[in-house]
Chain A
Amino acid sequence: MAELQFREAIREAIDEEMGRDEKVFLMGEEVAEYNGAYKVSEGLLDKYGFKRVIDTPISELGFAGIGVGAAMNGLRPIVEFMTFNFAVLAADQIINHASKARYMTGGQITIPMVFRGPNASAGQLGATHSVAFDSMYAHFPGLKVIYTSEPDDAKGLLKSAIRDDNPVLFMESEQMYGLKGEVSEEDDYIIPIGKGKIKREGSDVTIVAHGKMYHVAKQAAAQLEKDGVETEIIDPRTVKPLDLPMIIDSIKKTNRCVVVDEAHPFAGFSAEIGFLIQREAFDYLDAPVQRVTLPDVNAPFAKNLFDAWLPSPKQVIDAVNQVTYRN
């Protein structure tokens, strides 16, 4: 195992896949000469040259669509968005074209491409830079959606995403790029898309948390352990396809569940998991499923309001206390 920053793990995945397949290329704002807005692509221009590491204008709709066309015509683009908040301008290409062209031509078109970049909030950046989009994209058929929490998952899953012959959204976090973690040094390290991971074993309550929220859940679990509550944390890693069996198996053991999600509450990941649990494990539940999400409110700027807005370990602990009737 090697200790890598999140950004280094992502870079390794891109580097290895570019080295392996001439058809893989990277494009996005500031990815080449600036070496990446968050230094994810640092050094890739020097190694692969201007043909394969391409700076784009600030035209998300334009360059996302060029990526879709290039994928249709035989290449394997990695399209980087400086954040998925900006990718809203490219949503027509992702939702109306990348996800649908294959189906509506009866399978004639293949779109092997990755849209990637940071997702959700990253401190006091205001309302338009703070939204989690994984649930929204997972709503649409034809897309795979990954939002990982640790460098090892990121490396193995990004390599899978680049090799996948379907459009895949791979989400990161500005606040996690510097996060260090052990990353497998296995040759050609691949994690299959759609497989979750039990990141902490415990018998009292299941916490489902992905992306940045995994770390919030982890902090809560450390505190709860001191209080004698053993949590089991499941990180689905892939939002879609969802590793539902892993979640259900855990609930059959713990009989209680809290979902922690960085999206707003309506019709998102937490709502979906709640529905699936009642359908698949109704008789196993000893308490209603609880969730910790953003409120149904835009991201505020003021530090105190922002802290109140973002899910916190305290809220997770409260939710665990609720499902374990410890209040």
Chain B
Amino acid sequence: MAKKNTDEVRFAPTGIGDEKDGAVQKGVDLPSATRKKHKSLGLSEDDLKSMFKQMYLQRRFEERAMQQYQKGKFGGFLHLYIGQEAVSTGTVFALNDDDDIITAYRDHGWGICRGVTPKEGMAELFGKVTGCSKGKGGSMHFAKTENHFWGGYGIVGGHIPIGGGLGFANKYEQNGRIAACFFGDGAVDQGSLHETFNISKLWGLPVIYVVENNGYSMGTAAKRHTVEDIVDRAKGYGMKSAVVNGMDVFSVYETMKEVAEDVRENSEPWLLEIRTYRYRGHSMSDPQKYRTKEELETYQKNDPIERIKRYLLGNDILNEEEIEEIENKVEQVVLDAVEFADASDFPDEAELYDDMFVEDDPYFHN
């Protein structure tokens, strides 16, 4: 091997904006959206209105949360889901209410979609005792287990085997429920994913594993952190798989519905790569130098909320005034949530020791 000049030696693929002919770099290639209309998907007009309202709620909740964070109302991490709302919404509408859902730390949208009220969610962000996790978890640990939302988890890939375990319990109990486990594109590089996929296929676990591929693992573009198409990981494990346009709630709903039926029927795991895009940084401290403004704007043209709004208007399901009415209502709900969070109490200091163990009076070493 000829010896190379030292500065030619590279390991990680580098850089942005290496697209040819001045084309805009794209974090993910969106597959085509479904062409089906709502009726052939089995969705009623009321369902569509609810979907729109839900996605708009997630969006406004986070925009207001961001504002409150910038005002210094709370600290810690804040990973925003903005841009990805069609994934949570399409999924929750497609699954049964008692199917189990677990996700990573970009979890606000998921929580809200699965019954964490805006008040409980905002209060959790503020670290208040009225939060969904009593202020013990914060932004990354929304949960509502009574609604089978098992929470957001902060270790990349750490919750993937846990998702498998939720499905394991459902198979063990033969209760007809399935589990769905969501994670980002960064998590596909973790060994936990590979161990879980192997066991899931071997044991026939009824679990839908979903990569919400938003193109970036924090500040590292997918092509810089992982080889080949993510969905192709499924082949190595003999898992069924599909790629879905995550900027279109109908596409997410359609695939998720079909896959859930197959998983429920045949008790085997699937891998879905849902391609989507996050508009905001990885967290609040992200200068976003790894992507261009033009790239972001390209995806914003495919905004999932604008898309369903156009559909509602174009199919005469709602008119402009009705849409505005929904938006105003949602805005008020979110403002009320901010007010509630602000006015709520912090947990009492005595609660520091609560929720560690099941016992009322557990042992603490000191």
Q: What is the interface of chain A, defined by CB distance below 8 A to chain B?
A: 25, 51, 54, 56-57, 59, 61-75, 92-93, 96-97, 101-110, 112, 141-142, 165-166, 194, 240-242
Decide: A72 and B365 in contact? CB cutoff 8 A.
Answer: no
Decide: B192 and A107 in contact? CB cutoff 8 A.
Answer: no
**Do A75 and B137 form a contact, CB below 8 Å, given A65-B164, A105-B143, A109-B151?**
no
Q: Would you list 24 pairs from A and B whose C-beta atoms are within 8 A, ordered by A residue?
A: A61-B195, A62-B161, A65-B165, A66-B196, A69-B165, A69-B167, A70-B168, A71-B165, A72-B162, A72-B166, A97-B159, A102-B355, A102-B357, A104-B136, A104-B137, A105-B151, A106-B131, A106-B132, A106-B135, A106-B136, A106-B143, A107-B134, A108-B144, A166-B357
Among A68, A71, A165, A194, max chain B CB count under 10 A is at A68
Chain A's closest residue to B354 (CB) is A107
B133 in the interface, Cβ–Cβ < 8 Å?
yes
Decide: A75 and B195 in contact? CB cutoff 8 A.
Answer: no
Among B163, B179, B356, max chain A CB count under 10 A is at B356
Decide: A109 and B143 in contact? CB cutoff 8 A.
Answer: yes
> Which chain B positions have C-beta within 8 A of A240?
363, 365
Residues of B167-205 contacting chain A, CB below 8 A: 167-170, 172-173, 179, 191-192, 195-196, 198-199, 202-203, 205
Decide: B355 and A241 in contact? CB cutoff 8 A.
Answer: no
Chain A's closest residue to B191 (CB) is A61
> Which chain B positions have C-beta within 8 A of A102?
355-358
Question: What would 16 more interface pairs be, CB under 8 Å, given A63-B195, A69-B163, A240-B365?
Answer: A61-B191, A61-B192, A65-B192, A71-B165, A73-B165, A73-B170, A97-B155, A102-B357, A104-B151, A105-B133, A106-B131, A106-B137, A142-B356, A142-B357, A166-B358, A240-B363
B153 in the interface, Cβ–Cβ < 8 Å?
yes
Decide: B192 and A92 in contact? CB cutoff 8 A.
Answer: yes
Decide: A109 and B164 in contact? CB cutoff 8 A.
Answer: no
Chain B's closest residue to A56 (CB) is B199
B145 in the interface, Cβ–Cβ < 8 Å?
yes
Decide: A73 and B169 in contact? CB cutoff 8 A.
Answer: yes
Q: How many residues of B contact A (CB 8 A)?
A: 52
Decide: A101 and B151 in contact? CB cutoff 8 A.
Answer: yes
CB distance from A72 to the nearest CB of B (A): 6
Chain B's closest residue to A139 (CB) is B365
Decide: B165 and A105 in contact? CB cutoff 8 A.
Answer: no
Contact of A75 among B100, B143, B172, B191 (CB under 8 A): B172
Chain A's closest residue to B358 (CB) is A165
Among A96, A105, A109, A112, max chain B CB count under 10 A is at A105
Contact of A25 among B155, B159, B172, B196 (CB under 8 A): B172
**Do A109 and B150 form a contact, CB below 8 Å, given A65-B196, A69-B168, A104-B133?**
yes
Q: What is the interface of chain B, defined by CB distance below 8 A to chain A?
A: 100, 102, 131-137, 141, 143-146, 150-151, 153, 155, 158-170, 172-173, 179, 191-192, 195-196, 198-199, 202-203, 205, 354-359, 363-365
Contact of B199 among A62, A105, A109, A166 (CB under 8 A): A62
Bound complex: CA A68 to CA B102 (Å): 13
Decide: A74 and B165 in contact? CB cutoff 8 A.
Answer: no
Decide: B162 and A97 in contact? CB cutoff 8 A.
Answer: yes
Chain A's closest residue to B357 (CB) is A166
> Which chain B positions have C-beta within 8 A of A242?
365
Decide: A109 and B162 in contact? CB cutoff 8 A.
Answer: no
CB distance from B210 to the nearest CB of A (A): 16
> Which chain B positions have C-beta within 8 A of A141?
356, 364
CB distance from A110 to the nearest CB of B (A): 6
Contact of B158 among A75, A97, A241 (CB under 8 A): A97
Bound complex: CA A297 to CA B136 (Å): 40
Contact of B172 among A51, A57, A101, A142 (CB under 8 A): A51
CB distance from B314 to the nearest CB of A (A): 42
Chain B's closest residue to A60 (CB) is B195
Decide: B172 and A103 in contact? CB cutoff 8 A.
Answer: no
Decide: B100 and A73 in contact? CB cutoff 8 A.
Answer: yes
**Do A69 and B143 form a contact, CB below 8 Å, given A109-B150, A142-B357, A242-B365?**
no
Decide: B155 and A69 in contact? CB cutoff 8 A.
Answer: no
Decide: A105 and B145 in contact? CB cutoff 8 A.
Answer: yes
